[in-house]
Structure 1
Amino acid sequence: MAGGSALASRARSIGRGFAVTTALGAAAGAAATGYGLWEKNQFVLREESLPILPPGFGPMRVLHLSDIHFVPGQHRKAAWLQSLAGLKPDLVVNTGDNLSHVKAVDPVLEALRPLMDFPGVFVPGSNDYFAPQLKNPASYLLGPSKSRPDPIALDWPRLRSGFGMGGWVDLTNRCQSLVINGLRVDFSGVDDPHLRLERYAGWPRGTRGQDAKPHLRVAVAHAPYQRVLDHFTEDGADLLLAGHTHGGQICVPGYGALVANCDLPTWRAKGLHDWESKGRTTPVNVSGGIGTSRFAPVRIACKPEAVLLTLTARP
């Protein structure tokens, strides 16, 4: 009997320990979720400086926006986006994923309207074409997201039209030049590589070997897949801007991103880095993004950001 009593006591002790561990795990998970819900609204401006302009030109202030993932009712995000017009950028570059809801087109256009007073260019991301759908938020950590067989279409044509009417240039598999602060800037953009829709349009005619006037070549894409970075680097880009990664979205303090949602190394999931391919080097800025999927609305150790790049003349 004594042995049976000891065994029962041992079982009760193990049960209590399991219950305590489970409760602590649940509490930690709830705390992390609560923090993540708070951090997703802690918008910051990351500032970088890059000496890539031809001698005698600059500075040029480029505001890089990406992955807004707007949902109706996000008043704090809208107000912050509108406040960015106070930076008075020389150029706005929007690298896609503006939407996260079928009714988000009008409010995101309203939020971005003050920034359309400045020259701008844009490309789409997958969440400009299709709405995110409910799934296990932890699946984000399992690698690049997959397309659903039954996607919910978003009104990308109306969003694109709104940007165009606001004066921004569509670079979806297109190239075009703009004169900014007296310097010709040649752009080449692609449709979303995450959906494998990219088609390379080259650079505006007259920029390679035919025109000796100073100019800057800027490549624009949503998702920074290595094949895209390789192509633009080898094709002579002076700067490449992309988003898509959300900076990892859920990061480990002191370590960084666990995933990049593409084949980019996780340590490059956010920030300004040099990309090398076949003997050429191009600076690449990957935005950590401004929003999240509406079904995974948390950020941890990865505050939402816009990026202000100050371009100066080469030494």
Structure 2
Amino acid sequence: MGNSSAFGRDVLLGIGLVAVGTLAWGMLVERNAFTLRNVETKVLEPGATPLRILHISDLHLAPWQKAKMEWVTSLAELAPDLIVNTGDNLGHVNALPALRQTLSAFQGIPGVFVNGSNDYFAPEFKNPFTYFAGPSKAKSVATRLDTASLMDFFTENLGWANLNNSAASVTLGGRRLDFMGVDDPHRSFDSLSRMERSLEALQSEDIIEDSTPELTIGVAHAPYQRILNEFVSLGAEVIFAGHTHGGQVCVPGYGALVTNCDIPRDQVKGLSTWHHGGHSAALNVSAGLGTSIYAPVRFACPPEATLITLTARDS
């Protein structure tokens, strides 16, 4: 009986040590193991010159996160053709000066952006186990952030196009790309009708000017299926999204436990293909660069930015 009790204690002690070690790894090591993911997708016309797009998402930046700031700033050395920012930049009520310092290195590089909920509201504590019941719910009262100043920095200082429930054209060395985007679907801030009207206005200009875009791209913070389906229906050939954190805490060999939206679990991060209505688009969902300051842990899901190279289809 004594040996049995001792064995039971040893098992519990072992489990406890593994749990503590896993938590320490996720909080102290992996959460700061910033990774650049390089991917390629063939979506351009045969013979077209490749385009390099840097996808940044879910920084959840706090003023004291100097290592993250320095790593993100260093990405400017990649000299991408375009930057796509899919939201949740702010992770603290006083994070805006730190964000300006971090992203100012990208000044002069064309870009587009949409907002996530943490570009409007400060982070709040949430019971992590509630995520297993479905997408997280917002509290009725939340601390507002200075969203207007954030968007002014993006548009006026960096020159990025605001795609919140809107559409815009970006010209890169004489090559025109058309973008459509929505405000945060997770908070139901999206308006597909407003976005579609803006896209129709761009397409009307095409008829008048007898020009067409080389590519049409959809951008959203949260990859809800209704948003992805609408993008594909409206002709998007590439889609960018974030929000999921790639699951944030994953099981090796199994993957994400939750997605915090209705996207299938096997498409919670990385490059895949989204099909709808007989059409398809390349879909890149970023696992993001941060976490909430109230849940500072990642496991089997390192923080990331993505350099996605758009190349020509085979002739």
The equivalent of 1:40 in structure 2 is 31
Give the Cα separation in 2 of the matches to 1:293 and 1:214. Answer: 38
Unaligned runs of 5+ in 1: 1-9
Higher mean alpha-carbon deviation, 119-128 vs 109-118, is at 109-118
Contact 2:167 2:202 in 1 (8 A): no
**Residues of 2 paired with 1:120 and 1:299: CA distance?**
28
| 1:205 paired residue number | 201
Separation (CA, whole Å) in 2 of partners of 1:13 and 1:138: 36
Contact 1:60 1:181 in 2 (8 A): no
User: 1:183 — aligned with what?
Assistant: 175
Q: Which position in structure 1 is the counterpart of 2:76?
A: 85
The one-letter code of the counterpart of 2:176 is R
Give distance in 2, aligned partners of 1:145 and 1:80: 29
TM normalised by structure 1 equals: 0.91
Q: What letter corresponds to residue 99 of structure 1 in structure 2?
A: L
Aligned to 1:25: 15
Q: Residue type matched to 1:231 in 2?
A: E
Tell me the distance in 1 between the aligned counterparts of 2:281 and 2:58.
23
- The two structures, once aligned, show a CA RMSD in angstroms of 1.8
1:24 CA displacement: 2.8
Aligned to 1:5: none
Aligned to 2:267: 268
| 2:28 aligned with 1:57 | no
* TM-score, scaled to structure 2: 0.91
User: Shift in Å at residue 134 of structure 1?
Assistant: 2.0
TM-fit CA distance, 1:121: 0.6
The 1-side partners of 2:202 and 2:161 are apart by 19
Query: CA–CA distance in 1 between the matches of 2:233 and 2:13?
Result: 54
Q: Which residue of 1 aligns with 2:295?
A: 296
Match of residue 248 from structure 1: 247
Instruction: Give deviations 1:242-269, integer Å, cap 9, x for gaps.
Output: 0000011111111111111100111100
Secondary structure of the corresponding residue to residue 297 of structure 1: coil
Give, in whole Å, the separation in 2 of the partners of 1:258 and 1:103: 31
Q: Is the 8 A contact 2:288 2:303 kept in 1?
A: yes
Residue 131 of structure 1: aligned partner: 122
Counterparts of residues 156-171 of structure 1 (less than 5 Å): 156-165=147-156, 166-171=158-163
Aligned pair count reads 305
Q: Work out the CA distance in 2 between the residues paired with 1:32 and 1:142.
A: 24
Letter in 2 for 1:89: P
**Cα distance, 1:96–1:206 mapped onto 2, change above 3 Å:** closer
Moved more, 47-56 or 246-255: 47-56
Structure 1 distance, partners of 2:4, 2:137, is 42
Indicate the SS of the match to 1:48.
strand
CA distance in 2, matches of 1:183, 1:204: 20
Deviations 1:235-293 (A, max 9, x none): 11011100000011111111111111100111100011111111111111101111011
Shift of 1:212: 4.8
Q: 1:16 to 1:142 in 2, by over 3 A?
A: farther
List gaps (5 residues or longer) in structure 2. Answer: none
TM-aligned CA deviation for residue 300 of structure 1: 0.6
Shift of 1:29: 1.6
Larger Rg: 1
CA distance in 2, matches of 1:36, 1:259: 17
- For the residues of structure 2 that align with 1:132 and 1:213, how far apart are their CA atoms? 42
TM superposition shift of 1:139: 3.6
